[in-house]
Structure formats: C-alpha cells, structure tokens
C-alpha cells in the first residue's frame, strides 16, 4: 500500500536576500511498512525532506500525498492535526520535555487523543516495556543516559500508533553500543507493528539496517536502491 507520494517537490529557504534551494524537484513513493534510510552529505536536504514528509513545513512547490491526502497546502493547525495522530518524530537531540518523567513524556501525545486514563496507563507501560525502559519510568530526562532518552523518544513517537515515524539522525549523539540498541528497537518495532520508519543519517554503520536507501545530493535524489536481500 502506498503511504507517501512526493511529486516534484522543491523547497527554497529565504534568509534576507539569500535564497537556498534545499530541495530541487524530489519525486518518490514510499510503501507502508518500509524501513527506509535517507542518506547524503551534510546540507543535501535530508532534514528538509523529513520536515516536509512530517507536515512540519510546507513545500515551495510540488505535492505531497500522505495516505492519498494532499498535505502540501495545509495550514498550521491542519498540519498539527495530521501530526497528532499519524506521525511520530525522533530527533538527533534528545527531544524529551525536561520537566516530565519518562512515563509522562510517553503519555503526552496520548493526552491529546482523548484516551481514558486506564487505556493510557496500559499503553505507556507496554511501550516502555518494548523499549526496555520500564525500570526507569519515573526518571526525569536529566537522570537518563542519552541512549535511554532516545529509547523513551522512540516510545513516545510510537504512542499514538502512527502510520509513519520520522527519525532525523537518531544515533548521531550516541556511542556505537547505544546507537545499535536504538536502531534495533526501531527495526524490531517496524517488523512487529508494520509502522513505516524513515531515518536520515550519514553514518555508514546504519546503512545496513535499511531495506531501501535514498541518497540525496544538493537537494536531488541521486540513488534509490533496495537492499539486495533483507537478511538483517
């Protein structure tokens, strides 16, 4: 099933009089359930593309369909509504709310979706279990290691059963061991729940996790290749 369709999308950033062409005509389709890597040198447009796919921003031209719905022209509140139930984010920095515990951070997106408190408790407990953070549920982010924080962020991204999870260099601030753990958690969740994952990276160690790799350079796709076999 086709989850995302991108048609000839461009993105131009204007800073004062300077215009930066971050994306120059991107077209691609992404199937539901894919585990996809977005790679390319710094400044090639990975973050920009993720932000457009995640409805955090609007393209300068072109169309983006999410679940067959055109999301490229939506206003801010409409985009917030799409994000709320459909998309989860994982960032390079450990994007937890510092005043809330691990548990409360995971619970946060659920509060917006009107679940009962028992349903929420059940879901949060289950998610923390999945990312192996149950024993740290009531710690605040500053009491957790980077890897632990990132696993909580993965749990939070998954909380609302989103169709799509976007991870922008999720392991860039982690050591090899913690990076591996986070990637394995994401991969497992992709296989168990069928949630689509797209992650941006320029770390060659992560390329092997992807079923498909899209290579960007100067805002254009230069390579779009499926892994020969999914032996991971």
Partner 1 sequence: MHSIIKIAYRNLGRNRRRSFFSALALALGLALLLLMAAFLRGEINSALDYTIRLKSGHLQIRAPSYDETKTSLKWDDLIQDPQSLIAQVAALPQVKDATPRLYATAILVSQNKSIGVQVFGIDPQATANQPYRDGIVSGQFLTPDDREGLLLGQPLAQKLGLQTGNRVNLSVNTANGDVNEQVFIVRGIFSTGTNAFDNATILLPLAKAQAITQSDNHASVIFILLKDSRYTDQVANALANLPYKILTWQTMNDMIIQTEDMANAYMMIFYLIVLAITASVIVNTLIMAVFERMREIGILAAIGWRAREILLLFLAETALLTIIGIGLGLIIGLMIITYFSNHGFYIGNMGISGYLIGNMIYTELTFSDTLKLSLITLLITLIAGLYPAILAARLEPVNALHGSQ
Ligand X SMILES: Nc1ncnc2c1ncn2[C@@H]1O[C@H](COP(=O)(O)OP(=O)(O)OP(=O)(O)O)[C@@H](O)[C@H]1O
Applying CB under 6 A, the residues found at the interface with ligand X are 13, 15, 20, 22, 40, 42-48, 202
Answer yes or no: are the C-beta atoms of 174 and 98 closer than 8 Å: no
Query: Contacts with Mg ion in 44-63 (CB under 5 A)?
Result: 47
CA distance 84 to 154: 15
Q: Does 81 engage in binding with partner 1 (CB under 8 A)?
A: yes
Q: What letters, b where the CB count within 10 A reaches 16 and e where it falls short, cover 210-229?
A: bbbbbbbeebebeeeeebee
Cβ distance to partner 1 smaller for residue 142 or 177: 142
Look at residue 59 and give the partner it binds from partner 1, ligand X, Mg ion, none, a contact being a CB closer than 5 to 8 Å depending on partner kind. none
- Least CB distance to ligand X at residue 44 (A): 4
- Least CB distance to Mg ion at residue 48 (A): 8
- Least CB distance to ligand X at residue 202 (A): 6
Length of the chain: 232
Q: In what order do the strands lie in the sheet with 61-66?
A: 18-31, 2-15, 61-66, 69-70
Tell how far CA 98 is from the center of its chain: 20
Give the one residue of 35, 89, 103, 209 binding partner 1; rule: CB under 8 A: 89
Residues binding partner 1 (CB under 8 A): 51, 54, 56-57, 76-77, 80-81, 83-85, 89, 91, 93, 95-100, 108-109, 111-112, 156
């Amino acid at each position: 099933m086709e989850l995302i369709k991108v048609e000839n999308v461009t993105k131009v950033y204007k800073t004062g009089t300077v215009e930066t062409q971050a994306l120059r005509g991107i077209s691609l389709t992404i199937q539901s359930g894919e585990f996809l890597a977005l790679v390319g040198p710094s400044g090639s447009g990975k973050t920009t593309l993720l932000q457009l796919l995640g409805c955090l921003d609007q393209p300068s031209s072109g169309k983006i369909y999410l679940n067959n719905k055109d999301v490229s022209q939506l206003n801010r509140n409409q985009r917030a509504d799409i994000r709320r139930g459909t998309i989860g984010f994982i960032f390079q920095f450990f994007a937890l709310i510092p005043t809330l515990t691990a548990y409360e951070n995971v619970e946060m997106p659920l509060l917006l979706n009107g679940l009962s408190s028992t349903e929420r408790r059940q879901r949060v407990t289950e998610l923390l279990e999945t990312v192996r953070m149950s024993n740290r549920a009531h710690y605040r982010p500053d009491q957790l290691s980077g890897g632990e924080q990132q696993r909580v962020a993965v749990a939070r991204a998954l909380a609302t059963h989103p169709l799509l999870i976007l991870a922008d260099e999720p392991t860039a601030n982690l050591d090899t061991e913690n990076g591996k753990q986070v990637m394995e958690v994401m991969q497992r969740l992709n296989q168990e729940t069928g949630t689509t994952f797209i992650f941006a990276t320029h770390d060659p160690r992560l390329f092997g996790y992807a079923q498909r790799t899209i290579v960007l350079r100067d805002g254009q796709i230069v390579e779009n290749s499926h892994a020969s076999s999914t032996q991971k």
